């Protein structure tokens, strides 16, 4: 296999890992964002129980993203993480609080409200930080000689704040549509009610980002307005998904809103990728510059070919085991 092919395969794998993470941890972070607004504590129990058996696996995709970047594109790992130093810390702190809240909340009685807040606050901060990362990536990084040379807060701009809120809204939407699927009765009614306004918020940010981005970067402008026109199909498909969410919520379908929201995410994500391709550390470095040694990429790929299908298999199986509605009062371990 040629080195360039191998690098392309790896770009695909990392891209796949990232979207897996966004979709899977997205809905459980989203439930956290919605937590304070839930009708009552029973609803919160149901929300938490609906993800308790799987959240750890969902978050493992993030760890894979980190380790995979280190293995395949170490330059990205060693430039982006220092550039986002403070943001990464905030995200990790958020993930810590929401992660332990799963265990602690069920074991608490009088202090339970604290863990409600830890879960909600942690999820919100983590989602915001991840959204800001997306914005920072569109913005680009200041580098010299393959290291980051910018300041500690370069990543925090009005634009990244916008993308931060955008992803928060997006995750909340995933959470709400997940809940439609997993709950019933008044909890489900509530989830149906909040879905349209969340979708409107997402579309609003989506529109603002689309208008703003071409002004930030010439390359992106070229790509969208002069180069290949077929890429307009991506936002069109994203909008179709949005429409489908509205429609299926009105008809009170249970599974479709979640599926369509995933579609919305996937097409938006692809749109983002084609805007920047093949740059992984914009504006300077491409996937070819960032790749690790051929031998290392190959060594890992050989293993992944065998292991990842197994991982996907048993992950799907656990979702199958815990399929169906989650009911109030259903036991924790």
Query: Binders of other proteins among 274-333, rule CB under 8 A?
Result: 292-293, 295-296, 299-300, 303-304, 307-308, 311, 314-315, 317-318, 321-322, 327-333
Nearest to 199 by CA among 239, 254, 256, 255: 239
Cα–Cα separations (whole angstroms), residue 162 to 60, 136, 142, 194, 275: 27, 11, 21, 21, 18
Locus of tokens 């609080």 = 97
Contact flag: residue 259 with other proteins (CB under 8 A):
no
Query: Which member of 63, 96, 200, 236 binds ligand HDD (CB under 6 A)?
Result: 63
- Shorter beta-carbon distance to ligand HDD: residue 53 or 214: 53
> 319, 181 in Cβ contact below 8 A?
no
Site string for ligand HDD, 151-190 (x = CB under 6 A): ----------------------------------------
> 231, 223 in Cβ contact below 8 A?
yes
- Shorter beta-carbon distance to other proteins: residue 149 or 240: 149
Window 137-176: residues binding other proteins (CB under 8 A): 146-152
CA angle 256, 20, 286 (to 5 degrees): 130
- Shorter beta-carbon distance to ligand HDD: residue 99 or 271: 99
Residue 322 contact partner, candidates other proteins, ligand HDD, none, CB within 5 to 8 A by sort of partner: other proteins
Contact flag: residue 60 with ligand HDD (CB under 6 A):
yes
DSSP track, 142-179: -EETTEE-S-TTTT-SHHHHHHHHHHHHHHHHHHHHHH
DSSP 227: S
Positions touching ligand HDD (CB under 6 A) are: 56, 59-60, 63
């Amino acid at each position: 296999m040629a080195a360039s092919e191998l690098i392309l395969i790896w770009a695909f794998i990392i891209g796949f890992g990232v979207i897996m993470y966004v979709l899977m941890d997205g809905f459980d972070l989203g439930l956290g964002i919605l937590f304070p607004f839930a009708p009552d504590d029973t609803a919160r129990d149901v929300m938490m129980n609906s993800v308790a058996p799987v959240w750890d696996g969902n978050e493992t995709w993030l760890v894979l993203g980190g380790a995979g970047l280190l293995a395949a594109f170490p330059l990205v790992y060693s430039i982006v993480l220092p550039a986002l130093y403070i943001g990464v810390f905030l995200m990790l702190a958020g993930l810590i609080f929401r992660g332990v809240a799963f265990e602690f909340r069920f074991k608490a009685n009088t202090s339970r409200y604290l863990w409600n807040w830890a879960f909600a606050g942690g999820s919100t901060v983590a989602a915001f930080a991840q959204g800001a990362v997306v914005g920072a990536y569109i913005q680009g990084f200041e580098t010299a000689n393959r290291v980051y040379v910018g300041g500690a807060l370069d990543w925090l701009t009005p634009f990244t704040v916008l993308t931060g809120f955008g992803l928060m809204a997006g995750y909340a939407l995933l959470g709400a549509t997940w809940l439609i699927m997993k709950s019933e009765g008044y909890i489900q009614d509530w989830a149906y009610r909040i879905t349209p306004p969340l979708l409107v918020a997402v579309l609003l940010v989506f529109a603002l980002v689309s208008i703003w981005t071409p002004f930030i970067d010439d390359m992106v402008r070229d790509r969208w307005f002069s180069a290949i026109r077929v890429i307009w199909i991506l936002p069109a498909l994203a909008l179709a998904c949005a429409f489908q969410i509205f429609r299926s919520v009105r008809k009170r379908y249970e599974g479709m809103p979640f599926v369509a929201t995933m579609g919305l995410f996937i097409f938006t994500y692809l749109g983002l990728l084609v805007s920047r391709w093949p740059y992984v550390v914009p504006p300077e470095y491409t996937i070819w510059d960032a790749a690790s040694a051929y031998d290392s990429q190959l060594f890992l790929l050989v293993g992944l070919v065998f292991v990842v299908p197994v991982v996907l298999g048993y992950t799907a199986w656990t979702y199958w085991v815990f399929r169906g509605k989650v009911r109030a009062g259903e036991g924790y371990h």
